[in-house]
Homo-oligomer: A and B are copies of this chain.
Amino acid sequence: MPKVFHLLCLLLCAFVFPVTAQTLTAAYYCPPCNQRCDDNSFTAAGTCPHCGMTLITQAEAAQAKAKAVKPLTILFYLQDGVEVLDFAGPMEVFAYAGFKIATVSKTTDPILSQGILKIIPDYSIANAPQADIVAFFGGSSSAPADDTAVLHWLQKKQAPTYYFSVCTGAFVLGKAGFLDHQTATTFHARIDNLRKALPKTKVLSGVRYVDNGRVITTAGISAGIDGALHLVAKIYNKAVATQVAQYMEYDKWVPDQGLVVQPGH
Contact = CB atoms under 8 A, between A and B. Distances in A.
A214 to B, nearest CB: 24
Contacts of A84: 88, 91-92, 95
A219 B247 CA distance: 11
A188 B85 contact: no
A223 to B, nearest CB: 5
Interface string A208-238: 0000000000011111010000000000000
Interface residues of A, number: 37
A248 B115 CA distance: 17
A43 interface: no
A102, A247, A248 — which one has the most chain B CB atoms within 10 A of its CB? A248
Interface in A58-91: 83-85, 88-89, 91
A107 interface: no
Nearest to A222: B250
Contacts of A222: 92, 225, 248-250, 252
A117 interface: yes
Contacts of A92: 83-85, 114, 221-222
B116 A95 contact: yes
A188 B219 contact: no
Interface string A104-139: 000000100011111111100000000000000000
Nearest to A190: B52
A130 B128 CA distance: 40
Contact of A114 (B83, B95, B102): B95
A101 interface: yes
B89 A117 contact: no
A10 interface: no
Contacts of A121: 118
A81 to B, nearest CB: 12
A78 B222 CA distance: 21
Contacts of A122: 118
A180 B186 CA distance: 46
A103 interface: yes
Given A84-B92, A85-B89, A248-B221, A52 B188 contact: yes
Interface of A: 52, 83-85, 88-89, 91-92, 95, 101-103, 110, 114-122, 187-189, 219-223, 225, 247-250, 252, 254
